[in-house]
Structure 1
């Protein structure tokens, strides 16, 4: 065997191997590499989109939080104003009720004072009649002397 023929056959085998590899082995490997590259590109694109969506969602969440804080502060302020109004209204009602109670007590006291005066007048009139009866030692008729007794009442 000659070195040239060996080289020639090795070159032919090499070319057959290259052709076989290019025809049957290389396309599935290239296809798998292309699919893998596409999956990686899709994954990176999805990651970028997810990052953008996350940033947008964070902005919306922050906006909602600010809005919720503002609404909460507004509701709290309204509740405080309403509570103060209720307290003021209760104070006003209590003051009015107190005035009514004081007025009723004064009226009751006035009525009791008038009743006490009337009672005292009647008692003084009875005592005056008894005293006059004892002084005069004669019988005094209350029915006959009612004008005198009424005048005595009004003077007292």
Structure 2
């Protein structure tokens, strides 16, 4: 009887992990504030990429409050449709073959104007100068070792060590 109980507990744990891992891939399960930023990225990416094919949301790569979000988008097999617009479309979930991932950042730079930067995934490193303009952006800044000092400058280290 204890083996069955252990197996059931393991299955329950694995299903919880699977559901939480898939949560960021489901557009409709995201908070409204994230979807607003993702919609801006979708609009920008659909203008730049995909030709006649719709660009769709795939997942969140990084986020920091409402001030910074980095998402992965994909060119889908759906044709662009002016009546449906550039926003999320539930029916467009299949990536078109031989198309690159699209990496988009939506953030607020220190000057206060919104920055939307969408590039092919392989070109992200070339855009580092532009993306570093995002206020509060620090690679890895969503990690547990990230801190803000008294002067609002990012500090890295263990809590209590800095």
Compute the TM-score of the two structures, normalised by the length of structure 1.
Answer: 0.25
Compute the TM-score of the two structures, normalised by the length of structure 2.
Answer: 0.25
- Relative contact order (C-alpha < 8 Å, sep 6+): which is higher? 2
Greater strand proportion: 2
- The structure that has the greater radius of gyration is 1
Greater helix proportion: 1
